[in-house]
A and B are shown apart, each in its own frame.
Chain A
Amino acid sequence: MAELTYIEAINSALREELARDRGVYVIGEDVALGGPFGATKGLAAEFGERRVVNTPISEGAIMGLATGAAAMGLRPVIEVMFVDFITLAMDQLVNHAAKLHYMSGGQLGIPLTVRVQQGAAGNGGAQHSQSLEAWFIHVPGLKVVMPSNPADAKGLLTAAIRDDSPVICIEHRALYWTRGEVPDGEHTIPIGRAALRRPGKDVTLVATSRMVEVALEVAGTLANEGIEVEVIDPRSLLPLDLDTITASLRKTGRLVIAHEAVEGAGFGAELLAQVQEAAFDYLDAPIARVGAPFAPVPASPVLEQAFVPGAERLAGAVRKVVLGA
């Protein structure tokens, strides 16, 4: 075990996969220079600029390029600098990457990994802070993973690169410099398996990405009040490990879902809709969602802080579900 930052863990996954498989390419804006956050640091020096490829600022063409290359059997890993910029590549992502396999009747494979970071941190404002995972869950043909710590960042990215379908790996910018233990050497986490982060018997709290940290903090606080919170991190939003979540719910009878994105047609809505159908009779209270307010992300530090769902809001929601209104 080594202690690495989240961004170092990503770097290590990329390095190992570049070394392991000649078909892996890292493509994106400024990636040969290390990328704006250092995820690709040192890779061009080690593997050459032929496999760690700098591109012009043409997100649409890059997504199309990577999709076309994947259809030819390469295993490209592209970096989209901010999830907000994926709007420029949506056509290629939705209309090509996600569908070519299906539309071609299985003739074409698209072993593509899209690395992208998101979240409200650093006062970037509405065009650099969105959380858009629901879009990708909504597009059949894409898999969606969201690592919440350095070990998962490495394990899920490695699994994504080796997967034969297009996988979107959504990182959180605010987690980049957090540290954690990461297994040495090859480390993969199967896509589609949730992680139990903290056991508890009173209420199940499902949280994604950075909200896992907040959920654990809340669980600690509420333990002092006599409420035992079970925290589950789905890690992969599609495919979703519904069994782990409903098994927990059968025990606790109560569920709170937390994510940083807005609620409207988001991951929380989907999970809630699935759970109420699958485990209606086990529910002792209405399920609650905690997401960002229905607004673009503001830039001002105080507004941004007010925007991001925090421990206080989450604790309030959990108390309400456990104790009643």
Chain B
Amino acid sequence: MLRLLRTMWTIRAFEEKVSELFGRREVHGLLHLSIGQEAVAAGACAALRTTDRVVSGHRPHGHAIAKGVDIASLFAELAGRETGCCRGKGGSMHLAAPTTGFVTATGIVGGNVALALGVAFACKEREKQEVAAVFFGDGAGQSGAFHESLNIAALWKLPLLFICENNGYAEFTPLSAHTPISQLARHAETYGIPSATVDGNDVLAVRTAISDAAARARAGGGPSFIECMTYRLRGHYEGDPAKYRELSELSDWKTKDPIRRFAATLVKKGTCTHEQMRAVEAEARASVEAAAQKASTGAWPSVDEVTTLVYAG
């Protein structure tokens, strides 16, 4: 239980730090923060094994951290340093750390779903009971690649967990302006893919749903679709004033903050004390500070690196 809490606090602290560093121009590029959505990443990855594979999209920090990617290497990547997980070549939207099972993130909405289809295909072929999971937002539900992938995953019974983080906004517009459908899980039902819509701010509900789906996939039952209803407390990207939202909507969701909610539940149940709670947060923040510090001393990549790794070998 404390592990879940720690993961969520680490993601929150990481992204708050990223925001701060972005303000000081120490990290760069187009950054998409997941503050408010931490329960999905933490709950889902807690239900997966180390050997399971994750593909993420343009909002990937939480997924990478929850999957166990070293946060110093993430800071370094966002800062464009040689010590970054992608040696400074990828940046925020292209994080990759396959040894942890975090295959890759990608900046193309919907493109990640098709990619994950292939990862799941490979998992099936390896016959090691591994499953693949893909995180995507509600905006991806309108892309052709998403529909093509649902059909194929269902046809071929691929061990793929479609994890939709429905935060109600596709970039800058509410989902209702993008599609007449409010819950994307309906598309999965069309193809006979088992689906569940859960409270994405309830980390235990997410973990349970993903556990069930992963067990089904491991047993050869094919794909599942888990739609997590959540909310991003920041704009679409760092620097987005997000004026398209009502303030009341924002404050309403703030009361449903997944971290505070879970902490309160734990205390109420007597699982731990207020002091222990605060200690978890403090530890997470300290480890994030240390990682950021470490990353800031990383070397810039040599310009010779620019032409390397275009091809293998």
Contact = CB atoms under 8 A, between A and B. Distances in A.
A90 to B, nearest CB: 11
Interface in B95-141: 96-99, 103-104, 106-108, 111, 113-123, 125-126
Interface centre among B85, B94, B308, B312 (most CB of A within 10 A): B312
A58 B151 contact: yes
Contacts of A248: none
B152 A56 contact: yes
A163 B106 CA distance: 24
Nearest to B96: A104
B96 A108 contact: yes
A88 B313 CA distance: 30
B53 interface: yes
Contacts of B55: 68
A65 B145 CA distance: 10
B312 A61 contact: no
B94 A104 contact: yes
A44 B98 CA distance: 32
**Interface residues on chain B, size class:** 35 or more
Contacts of A107: 85-86, 96-99
Contacts of B96: 100, 103-105, 107-108
B171 interface: no
Contact of A100 (B53, B104, B121, B145): B104
B219 interface: no
Nearest to A167: B311
Contact of A101 (B85, B116, B309): B309
Interface in A31-54: 50
Interface in A55-103: 55-56, 58, 60-61, 63-74, 91-92, 95-96, 100-103
Given A91-B108, A91-B111, A164 B312 contact: yes
A68 B114 contact: yes
Contacts of A140: 310
Given A61-B149, A74-B125, A109 B104 contact: no
A226 interface: no
A129 interface: no
Contacts of A102: 89, 309-310
Contacts of B118: 64-72
A230 B102 CA distance: 53
Interface in A122-178: 140-141, 143, 163-165
Given A61-B152, A64-B111, A103 B121 contact: no
A92 B149 CA distance: 13
B163 to A, nearest CB: 16
B151 A96 contact: no
Contact of B106 (A58, A73, A95, A105): A95
B84 interface: yes
Contacts of B84: 105
Given A69-B121, A102-B309, A165-B311, A96 B115 contact: yes
A72 B151 contact: no
Given A92-B111, A102-B309, A68 B149 contact: no
A96 to B, nearest CB: 6
B88 interface: yes
A65 B114 contact: yes
Contacts of A60: 114, 144-145, 148
B111 A69 contact: no
B311 A67 contact: no
A253 interface: no
B111 A96 contact: yes
Given A104-B90, A141-B310, A58 B104 contact: no
Given A56-B155, A65-B114, A68-B114, A104 B121 contact: no
Contacts of B149: 61, 64-65
B110 to A, nearest CB: 9
Contacts of B309: 101-102, 105-106
Given A74-B125, A103-B90, A103-B94, A108 B104 contact: yes
A174 to B, nearest CB: 31
Interchain residue pairs A-B with the least CB separation, the first 3? A68-B118, A64-B114, A72-B122
12 contacts: A55-B152, A61-B148, A64-B111, A64-B145, A74-B121, A91-B108, A103-B86, A105-B84, A105-B96, A107-B96, A108-B104, A163-B312
Interface of B: 53, 55, 84-90, 94, 96-99, 103-104, 106-108, 111, 113-123, 125-126, 144-145, 148-149, 151-152, 155, 308-313
